[in-house]
A and B are shown apart, each in its own frame.
Chain A
């Protein structure tokens, strides 16, 4: 099946700094990628839809200036958490949709801890 990677898997940063998370589709081209946030033992909350070569579409309540998304190529999308605060600590998961399938392929997630 299709493989999606995320890097880093874990990151600890200090409050006020910025952190970049990469999401790559390894064996297919993903015109659309999605970024989710997940709190412990809770469901996934869609943050934004990332489209290659265009601006991301953010869900209501998600600050676009805080969570910067770039989808520069068909295999790479990045999420940058700017001026991170402890409340941004969470598990961030990306997914990619391949072709006409409704199935999404998920990355392994990134655990962000802001101290």
Chain B
């Protein structure tokens, strides 16, 4: 079955350090991949997407993600983390009929 996986439930980084939130995919063909962020008691906000073209995708709030076909990964990155980046992050891909499948989520905590 097609899916995305987020192997880490929790990622902790110090403010100012680079951060990576991992996502791997098992999707046939050329996948469309998304990253969303969720702040406490809020809905999801779109960060970025990979459809086609450049493997490095830049998104909102200074985030970027690299599509790596050989490693079937789409890791989310930011060069310098902020405390305000602390949130729950979801990797997702569309499965047709407008639906999306989400990873289990990774809680990012950035400590000052």
Known contacts A42-B104, A102-B32; is A93 also within 8 Å of B99 by CB? Answer: no
Closest residue of A by beta carbon distance from B60: A1
Which of A14-22, A68-76, A80-88, A107-115 faces chain B? A107-115
CB-contacts of B42-90 with A (<8 A): 42-46, 49, 51, 88, 90
B residues bordering A, Cβ < 8 Å?
Answer: 32, 34, 36, 41-46, 49, 51, 88, 90, 94, 97-100, 102-105, 107
Q: What are 30 A-B pairs at a CB distance below 8 A?
A: A6-B43, A32-B97, A34-B99, A41-B88, A41-B107, A43-B90, A43-B102, A43-B104, A43-B105, A44-B44, A44-B90, A46-B99, A49-B97, A49-B99, A93-B43, A102-B32, A102-B49, A102-B98, A103-B46, A104-B44, A104-B98, A104-B100, A106-B43, A106-B45, A107-B43, A108-B42, A108-B43, A109-B41, A109-B42, A111-B41
